């Protein structure tokens, strides 16, 4: 079955999948609906998270990854009437941000620095999110 997950830095060497920490366990959310995954990504963005990319993948591939990495997984059904929202508290520094910090300390690093979003971009995102309500 194809599901949708959120990927940060998609297509780069520093690619990472979005997970939610529940207690001491990380959980990957697999969305049956692309719209639900996009909505969740926009909510993360509104919480000042970097913009994730919604990607479709085979659910078994994600489950295999979770087993190997010690993660849990949850499928968010498209038939569910409940709106899934990100937790209000996020980790201060993600695993892939740690990698970026290490790369910046390495003068041989070839990755370019990310730029901050401009106010018009942020206003556009806010309008899209408000339109979802």
pLDDT band at 113 (very low <50, low <70, confident <90, very high): very low
Which stretches of the chain are DSSP H helices? Answer: 34-46, 59-69, 95-105, 119-132
27-36 pLDDT, tens digit each? 999 999 999 9
3-56 pLDDT, tens digit each? 999 999 988 888 899 998 888 889 999 999 999 999 999 999 888 888 899 999
CB 28 within 8 A of CB 17: yes
């Amino acid at each position: 079955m194809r599901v949708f997950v959120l990927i940060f830095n998609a297509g780069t060497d520093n690619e990472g999948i979005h997970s939610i920490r529940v207690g001491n366990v990380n959980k990957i959310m697999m969305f049956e609906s692309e719209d639900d995954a996009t909505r969740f990504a926009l909510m993360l963005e509104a919480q000042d998270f970097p913009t994730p990319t919604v990607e479709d993948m085979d659910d078994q591939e994600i489950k295999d990854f979770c087993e190997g990495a010690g993660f849990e997984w949850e499928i968010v059904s498209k038939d569910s009437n409940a709106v899934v929202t990100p937790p209000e508290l996020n980790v201060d520094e993600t695993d892939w941000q740690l990698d970026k910090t290490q790369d910046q300390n390495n003068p041989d690093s070839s990755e370019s620095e990310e730029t901050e979003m401009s106010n018009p971009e942020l206003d556009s995102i806010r309008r899209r999110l408000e339109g979802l309500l």
